[in-house]
Amino acid sequence: MKKIIAILLAMVMLLAFVACGTKDEGGDSGEERAVLRVGMECGYAPYNWTQGTDENGAVPIVDSSDYAFGYDVMMAKLLADSMGCDLEIYKIDWDTLPMALIAGTIDCVIAGQSITSKRLETVDFTAPYYYASIVGLTMNDSDFAEATGVADLEGAICTSQLNTVWYDVCLPQIQNADILPAMESAPTMLVALSSGACNLVVTDEPTALAATVAYPNMVMLNFTGGDDNFEVSDEEINIGISVKKGNSELLEKLNAGLATLTTEDFTRMMDEAIAVQPLSN
C-alpha cells in the first residue's frame, strides 16, 4: 500500500512539472521546482506594466531589476498558485509574444490578447479571463468629444496598436478616416493622441479607463449598447490566455483555475489594477 501511495505522489509531482515547466534551483541537489513562465509586454496598463519596486505584490521581471504588475500579473499569480507553480514574468515585445510562445521561451501569454480566429491558427486559447468592450478615445476639446456613434467619427485622423482588432477591424469602419500607421504599443498610441499627432484612437474599455486617469483631458467614447457601435464579433472582445498549440495539459489546468472565478472577480481585479496603475496617483 505504501508503495502504491508513493507511486501516486510521484505521478502528481511529475504532472505539475510537465504542466508548469521546470527550473533548476542550482546547488548540489540539482532539484527542480515547478514554474509557470508567463510572457507579457509589461507596458500595457492596466493589463500589465513595469515598476521599480514590488509594491502591491508586483513580481520580478526575469533578467531585470524591475517588477511587473497589473491585471495580467494578478491573474498569473492566482493561476500559478492554483497549479502549485512558482511564477516567472518575462518582458517581451507585443509583436513577438507568439514567437516566444511557439519557441518555448515561455509557457503562456497573459497580455490582454483577444481570442481571434487568426491567432487560433498558431496558438491555443483558454476560456476568456476578461471581456473588453471596444471604445474610442479623443481629447476633450476635439470635434469628436460629443460623438454618440461611429458615424460621428467620420474624417478622423486615427491610429491604434499594431496587430489588434482595434486597428485591423475597427478603424476601417470609420468613414473617410485618415488611418495612420499602427503604433507598436498602447503607451505610444496614447502619446500620439496626447501630442496631437492624431485626434482619435480606438482601444478597449480597460485601456481607455486607465488612459483617462493618466490623461485627464482625454474622453472615452463608448457606443456599447447603441445602434451605431463598432461591429465586432464576440471573439474580438474576449480576452484569453494563449499557450503553445497542442499543449492541452497546461490549457486544462489554466481553464480549471479560471473556472473558480466569476465575472465579478474579473471586474474587481481590473478595478484594483486601474486604481494602482503607475500614472493614476
Question: Range with the lowest mean pLDDT among 4-13, 36-45, 207-216?
Answer: 4-13
Percent of the chain with pLDDT over 90: 79
CB 193 within 8 A of CB 218: yes
- Domain 134-235: assigned CATH number: 3.40.190.10
pLDDT at residue 26 is higher than 80 = no
Domain boundaries, the chain: 8-131+237-276, 134-235
Q: What is the model's pLDDT at position 278?
A: 82
All residues at 6 or more sequence positions from 274 whose CB lies less than 8 Å from its CB, including other chains: 46, 206, 209, 210, 213, 280
Domains 8-131+237-276 and 134-235 share a fold: yes
- Distance between CA atoms of residues 13 and 9, nearest Å: 6
pTM to 2 decimals?
A: 0.78
For the domain 8-131+237-276, what is the CATH superfamily, name and number? Periplasmic binding protein-like II (3.40.190.10)
Tens-digit pLDDT profile for residues 186-241: 899 999 999 999 999 999 999 999 899 889 999 999 999 899 999 998 877 899 99
